[in-house]
Amino acid sequence: MNRLLSLAAASLAFPAIAISQQTPVARADGPAIAAVTRNPALPPAGETPDSSPTPSWETQKHARTYLLGIPPPRGQIVDRNGAPLAQTRVSYNLAVAFPTPLTLSDRAAAQFAQQQAARAQSIIGRPITVSTEAALKHYKNRGVLPYVIAQDVKPEEIAAIQRDKPANLVLQPTYQRFYPHGALAGHVIGYAGRTGRMPDGVLQNNDLLWPGAEGREGIEQSFDDQLQGKPGQLNISFDPSGKKASEQVVIPPQPGYNVVLTIDENVQRLCEQSLMKGTKRGALVVVDPNNGDILALASWPSLNPNSFIPNISGDAYKALQDDKNIPLLPRAFRSAYPPGSTFKVFVGLAALNSGKIGPHDEFSCPTSMSIGNLTFRNWKKTDGGSLDFADALTQSCNTWFYQCGMQIGGKVITDYAQRLGLGARTGIPLAAEAEGRVMNDEYMVKTYRRHMYNGDLANLSIGQGDTVISPLQMAQAMAAIGNGGTLYQTRLVSHVQSLDSQIVTAYDVRARGKIDILTEAMNELRRGMVQVVESRSGTAGQAQVDGVQVAGKTGTAQWGPKNNERTAAWFAGFAPADKPRYAFAALYEGDANNDDVHGGTQAAPLVGKVLRELLKDEPKKKKERKERRKRPEDEEDVEGGLSERVAPPVAPPVRVMPPRPAPTPARRSFFPFFRPGGR
């Protein structure tokens, strides 16, 4: 195909060439080779000629055709409703167009470039520095193409150039990645960087007109192949004198596919705003417990992908690396923390569902107790008396759970924890997800060369010791409990679709596992978790929502060396408690050696702010549902009961919002395939 196009372009450059016994071949990467024909008057080969052979036409030194690649625009990354999170926009570079044919001396070419740079500087009003060495190298190797002296010029600079209309300065359109919401979901989206610097080597066929882009982090990296698109082809022909004869887009570039996330832009924004106002470092994850969709995956501090476009300076990147709050770290899925008392929910599930402890069985809640040769304490300084599970969870009594854990055994606890997805990657399509860890006997033997003691089991029962869980894993586990025991595969990407809204790849809703939670056990779990939020003796009153029951559990745990110990404050659960629509996990990362950090005072408010916004209409909807139930004709009757809404196996196509329009240059674009505002 390329050869046919090359030959076709060459024939346009040489319309008067006659076909002789030896047909000339036009080379796209160099001058046409003149064919030498045999003069019939000359003697046959082997005989002495009486004159030298002469070409039938003069060698065409400057005539040639270049076949150049047009980098394609990357596909969009959008939220579940089609709102764009990553787009491609038309950007303009300011470039010097050298006069053709390229006959300037080195000195004249360098002077020309400097003169044009000075002219550009006077027009746009900012310094433009041109390297004489770089300008000469471009002139010698790629002088037929404009030499870029300023990248991604601003709209006001474009307007100034349009007014002045300089003869040898052109606006060269390119594609540029753009993140319309800045830092929103920055760790999830990642960023796309240039594949290299601006080309300056000898111009060859199939060279790209400018460097392409490749995903470097997040979804941009994981779905790079789908987002890439297919390059187009631009043919540029020059006549025998070296002047440009034609310029034609033979193959337009094809945009990449669009990646549709399960993220909800509104929920993600609420979570990030809550983190921004409530913590220096932390994470907040929201999952739909009915299908495993991740609605928000927020880490703080966040990262603005636009900082990496078109590239990030060394100083700016070093500043990110040296920041003590580590903004490059996506804490929601790439960090794991000791869960503290949130783990008591999973211990309670193991105890109640295995039948080893009944909902009305009671243990004492003393201020401390001896296990082996060590004393294990409760966080409260007063005796809590005899408590059942729900009341012990409400008060978060450590000594109650020490006894509970030792009675049911470590194997039962770790089995249920692992069936809830703890201690294993969720499988989201993001690199370097934290695996987490659930401390068990096998781990103790491998790490410490001993079996688990009762003291280890006591630590496990309150989420201390070597157990660590990522915020994403915590939300996933709470979602499974909230929906009654189904562990769904967490989805971050719903599907990939083409520009015409055809689904290319779909990621179906599917269950990874199932725990048959007994009705009695589920009722006690829900009762205890609601009391944590609503009871006076509970620890998460700051997560209350008017008219809605929230089920949750706080947790506070320390980790790190004693001289630099940090506290992880948690709040995790689901809401509404009876029919959950949201499962959540909030993590507040305290400063070193700060003991005044607790799940109830730091993490619970983070969730409360989000839920109060998400569920503000829930009381009204609940009232409307009750009224509808009073009218049998309005019910969706399925075998005598209300039908359940089941998520479709394949997500429907999402209407993707178009990219933001870009300014149009006054003169005809150097590359005519660009249509600002469209694709």
pTM listed for this prediction: 0.84
**Has residue 478 got a pLDDT over 50?**
yes
Q: What mean pLDDT comes out for the span 256-262?
A: 98
Q: Are 613 and 552 in contact (CB under 8 A)?
A: no
**Has residue 57 got a pLDDT over 70?**
no
The pLDDT confidence band at residue 637, using thresholds 50, 70 and 90, is very low
pLDDT confidence of residue 117: 96
Domain membership flag for residue 328: yes
- What CA–CA distance (Å, rounded) separates 216 from 195? 10
Domain membership flag for residue 166: yes
Same domain? 337 vs 453: yes
Q: What is the pLDDT of residues 288-308, one digit of tens each?
A: 999 999 999 999 999 999 999
Same domain? 119 vs 223: yes
pLDDT confidence of residue 649: 52
Same domain? 205 vs 277: no
Helix (H) and strand (E) counts in the chain: 20, 25
Same domain? 272 vs 169: no
**Has residue 17 got a pLDDT over 70?**
no
Of the candidates 160, 180, 217, 454, which has an alpha carbon nearest to the alpha carbon of residue 333? 217
Quote the tokens at residue 263.
């993220």
pLDDT confidence of residue 241: 84
pLDDT confidence of residue 2: 39
Q: What is the pLDDT of residues 332-386, one digit of tens each?
A: 999 999 999 999 999 999 999 999 999 999 999 999 999 988 899 998 889 989 9
**Has residue 522 got a pLDDT over 60?**
yes
Q: What is the CATH number of the domain that holds 551?
A: 3.40.710.10
Domain membership flag for residue 60: no
Domain membership flag for residue 66: no
Same domain? 224 vs 296: no
The pLDDT confidence band at residue 168, using thresholds 50, 70 and 90, is very high
Q: What mean pLDDT comes out for the span 127-134?
A: 94
Q: What is the CATH number of the domain that holds 176?
A: 3.90.1310.10
**Has residue 610 got a pLDDT over 60?**
yes
Q: What mean pLDDT comes out for the span 317-327?
A: 94
pLDDT confidence of residue 61: 58
**Has residue 655 got a pLDDT over 80?**
no
Q: Are 334 and 297 in contact (CB under 8 A)?
A: no
Domain membership flag for residue 541: yes
Same domain? 221 vs 194: yes
Same domain? 323 vs 186: no
Same domain? 355 vs 499: yes
Percent of residues, the chain, with pLDDT higher than 70 = 84
CA-based torsion, 474, 479, 485, 489: positive or negative: negative
Same domain? 283 vs 318: yes
> Domains in the chain: how many in total?
2
127: containing domain: 71-235+247-261
Same domain? 203 vs 270: no
Q: What is the pLDDT of residues 484-509, one digit of tens each?
A: 999 999 999 999 999 898 999 999 99
The pLDDT confidence band at residue 622, using thresholds 50, 70 and 90, is confident
Domain membership flag for residue 648: no
Q: What is the pLDDT of residues 448-461, one digit of tens each?
A: 999 999 999 999 99
pLDDT confidence of residue 548: 97
Same domain? 255 vs 300: no
Q: Could you please report the per-residue DSSP string of 243-309?
A: -EEEEEEEE--B---EEEES--HHHHHHHHHHHHHH-SSEEEEEE-TTT-BEEEEEEES---GGGGS
Q: What mean pLDDT comes out for the span 391-397?
A: 97
- What CA–CA distance (Å, rounded) separates 176 from 606? 36
**Has residue 639 got a pLDDT over 50?**
no
Domain membership flag for residue 10: no
Same domain? 478 vs 624: yes
Domain membership flag for residue 42: no
